[in-house]
Structure 1
Amino acid sequence: MVFFAFDFDETLTQNDTLDLIIKCTKEVDLNSLIWKRLSQRYCNLVTFSKAEYFKNHKNPSLEDYCEFCRVNEMDSIENIIESKCYDEITKDSLFNIGKTEVKFHNEVPEFLSKLIEEKIPVNIISANFSNDIIKGALSNIKNSEEINIYSNDLEFNENNISNGNIITNYIVASDKLKLFNNLSKDINNNETIYIGDGLTDILCMLNATVGIVFSPGKSFIQDCKEFNILLKPLSTWTEEDLKLEDEDENEERTKLLFFTLNWNDIISWWNNNKKVFL
């Protein structure tokens, strides 16, 4: 049996949803300013450290580079916790804002519903900081309770009010890959399709039977060039590409991902090829 795994923010959704957490705080205006400052600091740090990394490392592996990113991510999380901008948020407010304000790409809700109807396992593996926002967003989709959600989360007290801490489960690509591999072992035929958009998804996409990049950005494309990962349009995929999965174990596996800029392409690809996987 095949199973699907998806990133959440900017893969299923039209925009990043992390900003919505701030809207659930008691001091929205103040915390919005704090969040803006923290976001800019994070972006500056990532840009600088990435340049320094490639300047100081000759022929690094993709896995090493992804793990290197953990330092920046944890630094950012520690700054968020220290700022206390995630204090005193209720689980209900997060669920409700996910339900009312998260916007999926137009084709996503129906596509997920059809996968569920076809009894195909659907998993979301996200670096988002709120499991409840994801649940709230999915609650608008038919039979969404069948979707498995794996994410980071805020820490709550017995009254379901956040204490400002963040539970870190999936910070970098290797964290997602570990979960993805464990999920893969539970599927009889081990056919997997992973759809994501960023560096935290890249190892899962490369290890999936089919890895699909949704609307890759400039930074992601640069990373693929750096690590000799071939990006091909999803429209060029054929059943012959599955043979890459059956190469001799002693041969280096081709690093190949397929990309698309719209969800209609993904749906058309699946409708035309699902017989190969089912």
Structure 2
Amino acid sequence: MRYLSSTLFSCRSPSPTHLLTCFARTSSLRISGFRYLCSGRPCFFPSSRFRSIYRPILRVHPWRPFSVDSGLARTSFSSFPSVGGAMSVVASMADEAISPAKKFWLKSQKEAMLAKYTPFVVCLASGKLEQETFRHYIAQDVHFLRSFARAYEKAEEYADDDDDKATISRLWRAITEEMKLHNSVVQDWGVDPSKEIPPNPATLRYTNFLDATSDGKIEVGKGVGKIVTPFEKTKVAAYIVGAMVPCMRLYAFLGKEIEPFLSLDGSAHLYTSWVKNYSPSTFEEAAVQIEDLLDKLSVPLTGEELDVIQKLYHQAMKLEIDFFLAQPIVQSSVVPLSKLHDPKNRLFIFSDFDLTCTVLDSSAILAEIAIIKAAKSTDLAVADSSINQMSSSELRNYWRDLSGKYTEEYEHCIEILLPAEEAKTFSSEDLYQRLEQLSDFEKRANSRVIQSGVLKGMNVNDIKRAGEHLNLQDGCSVFFQKIVGLKERLHADFHILSYCWCADLIRSAFKSVGCIADVAIHSNELDYKDSVSTGEIVRKIESPIDKLHAFRSILDESSSREEHLSVYIGDSVGDLLCLLEADIGIVVGSSESLRRVGKQFGISFIPLFQGLVHKQREFGSDGSLVWKANSAVLYTVSGWPEIQAFILGHETF
């Protein structure tokens, strides 16, 4: 993983990425400019409680990768215990640390999220899926069952271990029993089991794929290889099972996600009996059994052969998604948002930048540049102020002191602004007035940074190179690249609202992913003289109030001409007012301070999928759906792939 350009962070540098590793590893305060401990997010200044791990962290190799997830930073698994969510785990986890089946599933999280956000699954979860669509779906299921039965027969034939053969035989018997039960189920739904219903194209693509794999026709590179020798055929059992596991694990995943909605609002769910077939208590054991079989069959395989299974697994996942998408849904669906949105109206996508788009706060990057600059300035004897006369280690300590003071004052400010009791009803006016106190504090903190001179002497080209190499959250760059490509069709505008001290850093980050021409950046600017920072900040957005004013100004300019739908994506207290004022406020990450403040003011945090299922139930017969701003409801997501699945759906994956 990369952070700054190699010219800045090389092993020859007097202050390499050891500093960033230590910075990101420690605590978690969200600062305007430097945002950290208060949001439950990573901080680059070690507090006293982290001093015991400070020195070991400094010994981490400067290029050892680490990432931030769910408020924690992580080096590779060989150095520190694992933390965080599944998507970030995949990026740094050594292959041997987890089983093949688990690894393949973790690498398929984006596809699993997309399956979850298909119109078919959302409508099914809501209990409002049209019955004719469901009949079509279960009628197609028999073709999958038959294909699985044939595949198990082939896998048992190719397996050379008696225990493996016995396990496969049990799985085959289970699938044949399910085929018998299937006839009675479809009959209950008004489908004649004696009448042969032809597979639709999506069903046929999956069954043909599984049949070909069972026959040893394995795709290798760009061609198709036929496995014929007895020795080669022993591998086919693993390949066959690898192509079947995704279906089992995906259904177990979806069953677990849908089960909570069976008793939604106390009303009966039309598809309760079907969904319960895939609930954890019923289906998880079967999914684990076939995953364990895959792990055992994979033991003797080479890395190249495991890669073949990975490709088969991924292909099977895509074919399963195609199957869900192929279901004939006539009714309106809340997903994807891009399809529901009327292109006659304007779509606004707003996002915060630091720790919403990035894995590391921009102030940590600027601090690193400043510290490296200090070392070079000292070496060249060009220091012209007390700050510039500091060594890199002294300047690092100075930054730490600034952060420590900020942390103490921020926590005190939060305590003061919180109401004594949890609000029974949400009041936007009360929240606004109280966050004005936080805004005043943020501006004083920025004044302290300016007066200290720590931002003086940085070359604008170094900052731009840092932005070009800034590591974005998983899926963030892809989301913006995809949605920018649909700008005209969606009639959409894209805006970044950020506390970042330096908009050049943000512009360079979006330029590096090809989106700068279509994404408007609203942030502070560093003041320069002859391309070198003077230490001053051109202050534009420093607080929650400033963000809200910028947000309103952009929308007001449009509302006089056309209707609009607004989406705001953020992660901290600084985003709270905008999140609430947007038609759809989406929270990424796990900021404890955001949830604490929100709870005290009567704000609800609901998983996005849960919210969409409720919205699907509310959908009017005329297809009308209203997203309400200032509803005191914010929607939480696991990351950008979930946002993309919601807004754009399958078209852009």
Fold conserved between structures, TM > 0.5: yes
Residue 11 of structure 1 is matched in structure 2 by: 356
Q: Which stretch has the larger CA shift, 11-20 or 51-60?
A: 51-60
Provide the secondary structure at the position in 1 that maps to 2:362.
coil
Question: 1:273–1:62: structure 2 CA closer, same or farther, 3 Å change rule?
Answer: farther
- Are the counterparts in 2 of residues 34 and 83 from structure 1 also a CA contact under 8 Å? no
Residue 321 of structure 2 is matched in structure 1 by: none
Provide the secondary structure at the position in 2 that maps to 1:149.
strand
1:215 aligns with 2:578: no
Question: 1:154–1:56: structure 2 CA closer, same or farther, 3 Å change rule?
Answer: farther
- Are the counterparts in 2 of residues 69 and 172 from structure 1 also a CA contact under 8 Å? yes
How far the C-alpha of 1:186 sits from its partner, in A, is: 3.6
- The 5 A counterparts of 1:118-197 are 118-119=486-487, 120-157=492-529, 159-187=530-558, 188-197=562-571
How far the C-alpha of 1:97 sits from its partner, in A, is: 1.0
- Structure 2 gaps of 5+ residues are 1-345, 376-391, 424-428, 620-624
1: CA distance, partners of 2:577 / 2:498: 14
Paired residue type of 1:79: R
- The 5 A counterparts of 1:187-266 are 187=558, 188-238=562-612, 239=615, 240=618, 243=626, 245=628, 254-266=631-643
Question: 1:221–1:18: structure 2 CA closer, same or farther, 3 Å change rule?
Answer: same
- TM-score, structure 2 normalization: 0.39
- Are the counterparts in 2 of residues 88 and 163 from structure 1 also a CA contact under 8 Å? yes
Residue 117 of structure 1 is matched in structure 2 by: 485
Larger helix proportion of the pair:
2
Larger strand proportion of the pair:
1
1:107 aligns with 2:452: no
- Are the counterparts in 2 of residues 171 and 200 from structure 1 also a CA contact under 8 Å? no
CA deviations over 1:137-157 (Å, ceiling 9, x no partner): 112212322211010121122
Q: Which stretch has the larger CA shift, 189-198 or 21-30?
A: 21-30
- Are the counterparts in 2 of residues 115 and 122 from structure 1 also a CA contact under 8 Å? no
How far the C-alpha of 1:55 sits from its partner, in A, is: 7.0
- The 5 A counterparts of 1:78-97 are 78-97=447-466
- Are the counterparts in 1 of residues 439 and 545 from structure 2 also a CA contact under 8 Å? no
* Matched positions, count: 266
- TM-score, structure 1 normalization: 0.88
- Which structure ranks higher in relative contact order (CA pairs < 8 Å, sequence separation ≥ 6)? 1
Question: 1:78–1:56: structure 2 CA closer, same or farther, 3 Å change rule?
Answer: farther
Residue 2 of structure 1 is matched in structure 2 by: 347
Provide the secondary structure at the position in 2 that maps to 1:15.
coil
CA deviations over 1:144-178 (Å, ceiling 9, x no partner): 22211010121122x12211111221111121111
1: CA distance, partners of 2:526 / 2:516: 22
Provide the secondary structure at the position in 2 that maps to 1:89.
strand
Provide the secondary structure at the position in 2 that maps to 1:231.
strand
Residue 249 of structure 1 is matched in structure 2 by: none
Provide the secondary structure at the position in 1 that maps to 2:566.
strand
2: CA distance, partners of 1:53 / 1:6: 25
Q: Which stretch has the larger CA shift, 23-32 or 109-118?
A: 23-32
State which structure, 1 or 2, has the greater radius of gyration over its C-alpha atoms. 2
Residue 61 of structure 1 is matched in structure 2 by: 430
After superposition, the CA RMSD in angstroms is 2.3
1: CA distance, partners of 2:374 / 2:418: 40
How far the C-alpha of 1:125 sits from its partner, in A, is: 0.5
Paired residue type of 1:170: I
Provide the secondary structure at the position in 1 that maps to 2:496.
strand
- Are the counterparts in 1 of residues 495 and 522 from structure 2 also a CA contact under 8 Å? yes
Q: Which stretch has the larger CA shift, 109-118 or 177-186?
A: 177-186
How far the C-alpha of 1:58 sits from its partner, in A, is: 10
Residue 442 of structure 2 is matched in structure 1 by: 73
CA deviations over 1:41-63 (Å, ceiling 9, x no partner): 10111112222344789978110
1: CA distance, partners of 2:439 / 2:471: 29
2: CA distance, partners of 1:80 / 1:57: 35
